[in-house]
Amino acid sequence: MQLTGSQFTNASAMAGNDVATFPDFPAEIRAPKGTRAGVSGFQVQFAADEIFTPGDELDVLVAMNPAALVTNLSDVVPGGLLLVNEDSFTDKDLKLAGCHTNPLEDGSLDSYRLVRIPMTTLTRKSVEDLGLSTKLADRCKNFFAMGLVYWLFGRELTVTLEFIQAKFGDKAEIAQANERALRAGWHFGETTEIFDIGYRVAPARLAPGTYNNVMGNQALAWGLMAAARQSDKDLFLGSYPITPASEILHELSRHKNFAVRTFQAEDEIAAMCAVIGAAFGGAMAVTTTSGPGIALKSEAMGLAVILELPMLIVSVQRGGPSTGLPTKTEQADLLQVLFGRNGECPMPVLACRSPADCFDVPVQAWRIATRFMTPVIVLSDGYVANGAEPWRIPRLADLPRIPVRHPKATDDGRPFHPYSRDALLARPWAIPGTPGLMHRIGGLEKEDPTGNVCYNPENHQRMVNLRAEKVERIADDIPRQQVHGPEQGEVLVLSWGGTFGACATAVEHCLQQGMQVAHAHLRYLNPLPANLGDLLQQYRQILVPEWNRGQLRMLIQAKYLRATIGLNKIQGKPFAVQEIVDKIQTIHDCQVPK
């Protein structure tokens, strides 16, 4: 392990990062292999900025056996990545490490991102044809682990390849085996889509309460379960696995005792359609995916809009286009979810700003969906989804009730009209099984209010407008947009989604420098809060930092005819606070008359 660690240090130094190392040798050098005392660790920190504290917290732990896992676990940050050699978690290994239950299975690793990898098997496979003894082959597995970590952090293999040649050059097959294992580890990382970045927030003063560390996808799953409870509904999830959304499927699949039904469909189209079927049947129906999945779901999402049934569509964004950068974050699917459907096809859109926020947003989204009878989109992103942060556990009694009504037949002899509307323009959610309310719905244009198929031109325009107006009116039902900072000033930073942490910290920093700057972070992207237009008038310049080429900016400029400035980072990684501070500074300085 020590050898592995120093190699990684070298590779990181080559990459231009500041590096601090903290070799953690076992005190008892001869401690038996596999026992806790015999764990050999090597911790490497690397960062773009200067490092002051080597060896305090770990973002990634590579554990070659149970002993290594349990001894180092307390140093790993919540939401940190555990890369575990699952081949060495046999009963014998567990006993050696003094584990009574298998940590990979007993739930004790729930607040980490656990990746189980059969490292021994894969390493042996990678050197199979070299004719090494098993013992020699198994020695290569540290290089496998190293290859994986190199991939994760985008380190070059070259330095280590040279090292292998220099060190083992005279033993050709050993050199070759180590090189094979190193490359196999790298390739494993690439093909299995392990997410490399975690959300980090500066430690802040926390409001009184009981806290749990949650990861974004986990909080999102819990939020969905809470929304189901608050509306007295059973939750149905129709989903198809995709990075970085799959953990929501995994998490919900574990909670069958909450009557959560999860359905892994044959593709995203089927997942979306199953959700439509479940919504028709009266369930709280949800689908979870990422951008490529949304592309497949689009036609069915249009059906959901014209059916006017409540359901949630969760998109955890990743780098695009196409398969793009599956394990990197981006927020370039805003326009996709707003406009990526045929016809006039409006859908409300909400976005999560942090891991803990992933709990609240689905609850609000489901409230809107049921109150207005509409599908609703929840946006998250890879950074938020894989990050962890302290979450104040709500009391169930404090969560909003989400009342849902299913009509019954009346005796007044009047026919049932599935497209009659209430004051909010919502139609009744009449579900199969209700005597006397039999009706047919579908994707063909509906007659207002009977719901019968109708090709009348004026009716079509009326229905298009009704569907649009219904969504627009949600603006009167959501909170007014708040700002942090002065109500008027030079610069407003307008942000949405996972950029929250960096934007908020940057604005705070600038405020302390005495700048006239404020921050507005949007949760509701469609419709936008009713007061947003007026609010934008209160600042001389609007800065919109986004992980895309300016999608929110385009919306704002189109809707409010207000020029804005973009700060656009499309590198698959979050903003550094300083990048935003610098930009604010530039704008601020050229605005304030000297």
Binding status of residue 21 toward another protein by CB under 8 A:
no
Q: Are 369 and 230 in contact (CB under 8 A)?
A: no
Letters for 421-440 (x = contact with another protein by CB under 8 A, - = none) are: -----------xxxxxxxxx
Are 233 and 404 within 8 A, CB to CB?
Answer: yes
**8-11 long-range CB contacts below 8 Å, 24 or more apart?**
8/42, 8/44, 8/146, 8/149, 8/150, 8/155, 9/44, 10/159, 10/160, 10/163, 11/150, 11/155, 11/156, 11/157, 11/159, 11/160
267 binds another protein (CB under 8 A): yes
CB of 218 to another protein, least distance (A): 10
**Does residue 212 bind another protein (CB under 8 A)?**
yes
User: For residue 484, what are the β-bridge partners?
Assistant: 519
In the complex, minimum distance from the CB of residue 234 to another protein, in angstroms, rounded to a whole number: 7
Angle between helices 246-253 and 216-230 (to 10 degrees): 50
Q: Based on the shown chain and the rule CB under 8 A, indicate whether residue 204 belongs to the binding site for another protein.
A: no
Q: Binding of another protein at residue 211 (CB under 8 A)?
A: yes
Among 273, 350, 358, 404, binds another protein (CB under 8 A): 273
Figure out which of the listed residues 183, 200, 229, 421 binds another protein, where binding follows CB under 8 A. 229
Task: Select 437 or 565, whichever has its Cβ closest to another protein.
Answer: 437
Q: How far is the CB of 57 from another protein (least distance, A)?
A: 15
Instruction: Give the contact letters, 230-259, x = binds to another protein (CB under 8 A), - = no.
Output: ----x-x-x----------------xxxxx
Integer Cα distance of 424 and 415 in angstroms: 22
Per rule CB under 8 A, is residue 225 in the interface with another protein? yes
Choosing from 265, 369, 494, 535, the residue that interacts with another protein (CB under 8 A) is 265
Least CB distance from residue 72 to another protein, whole Å?
Answer: 16
Confirm or reject binding of residue 200 to another protein (CB under 8 A).
no
Residue pair 466/448 in contact (Cβ under 8 Å)? The answer is yes
Report how far residue 156's alpha carbon sits from residue 319's, in angstroms, rounded to the nearest whole number. Answer: 22
Structure tokens at 152: 């994760």
The one-letter code for the residue type at 349 is V
Q: Which is nearer to another protein, 452 or 591 (by Cβ)?
A: 452
- Half-sphere exposure at residue 215, Cβ-oriented, CA atoms within 13 angstroms: 26
Q: How many residues contact another protein, by CB under 8 A?
A: 67
Residue 303 is a binding residue for another protein (CB under 8 A): yes
Question: Does 488 contact another protein by CB under 8 A?
Answer: no
491 in contact with another protein (CB under 8 A): no
CB nearer to another protein: pick between 112 and 188: 112
State which of residues 64, 159, 197, 285 lies at the interface with another protein (CB under 8 A): 285
Dist CA 389 CA 214 (whole Å): 6
Nearer Cβ to another protein (140/225)? 225
User: Which among 361, 352, 356 has a CA at the least distance from the CA of 380?
Assistant: 352
110 lies in the binding site for another protein (CB under 8 A): yes
Q: What is the C-alpha to C-alpha distance for residues 151 and 68, in angstroms, rounded to an integer? A: 22
What character string, x for contact with another protein (CB under 8 A) and - otherwise, covers 63-102?
----------------------------------------
Start-to-end C-alpha separation, the chain: 59
Considering the rule CB under 8 A, would residue 294 count as an interface residue with another protein?
no
Residue 207 vs 558, nearer CB to another protein:
207
By CB under 8 A, residue 479 contacts another protein: no
Cβ atoms 591, 541 nearer than 8 A:
yes
393 contact partners, CB below 8 Å, separation of at least 6: 209, 210, 211, 212
Taking the complex as a whole, the smallest distance from the CB of residue 479 to another protein amounts, in Å, to 24
Contact assessment for residue 164 and residue 182, using Cβ atoms and an 8 Å cutoff? yes
With respect to another protein, which residue has the nearer C-beta, 221 or 337? 221
Cβ at position 267, least distance to another protein in Å: 7
Residue nearer to another protein on the CB measure, 112 or 496:
112
Q: Should residue 342 be labelled a site residue for another protein when binding is judged by CB under 8 A?
A: no
322 in contact with another protein (CB under 8 A): no
Binding to another protein by residue 447, rule CB under 8 A? no
Tokens 């894989």 belong to residue: 386
Binding mask 366-395 for another protein (x = CB under 8 A): ---------------------------xx-
Residue 411 CA to residue 448 CA, distance in Å, equals: 22
Say if residues 406 and 282 touch (Cβ distance below 8 Å).
Answer: yes
107 contributes a contact to another protein by CB under 8 A: yes
User: Applying CB under 8 A, does 396 fall inside the site for another protein?
Assistant: yes
Q: Does 104 bind another protein (CB under 8 A)?
A: no
User: Does the protein bind another protein through residue 295 (CB under 8 A)?
Assistant: no
Asked if 402 and 231 touch (Cβ cutoff 8 Å), the reply is yes
CB-nearer residue toward another protein: 166 or 207: 207
Distance in angstroms (rounded) separating the CA atoms of residues 248 and 237: 9
In Å, how far are 164, 199, 319, 570 from 328, measured between CA atoms?
30, 12, 6, 10
Looking at 18-26, 34-42, 208-216, 288-296, which segment touches another protein (CB under 8 A)? 208-216
Minimum CB separation of residue 310 from another protein in Å reads 14
Using alpha carbons, select from 203, 188, 196, 214 the residue that is nearest to residue 78: 214
Among 16, 203, 208, 457, binds another protein (CB under 8 A): 208
Shortest CA distance to 302 belongs to which of 251, 345, 363? 345
Residue with Cβ nearer another protein (280 or 560) = 280
Q: How far is the CB of 274 from another protein (least distance, A)?
A: 3
CA distances from 417 to 409, 465, 470 (A): 11, 19, 18
Q: Within a 10 A sphere around the Cβ of 192, how many other Cβ atoms? A: 13
SS3 track for 19-77: EEEEEECCCCCCCCCCCHHHCCEEEEEEECCCCCCCCCCEEEEEECCHHHHHHHHHHEE
The binding site for another protein (CB under 8 A) comprises 107, 110-111, 205-213, 222, 225-226, 229, 234, 236, 238, 255-259, 261, 263, 265-267, 269-271, 273-283, 285, 299-300, 302-303, 307, 393-394, 396, 432-444, 452-453
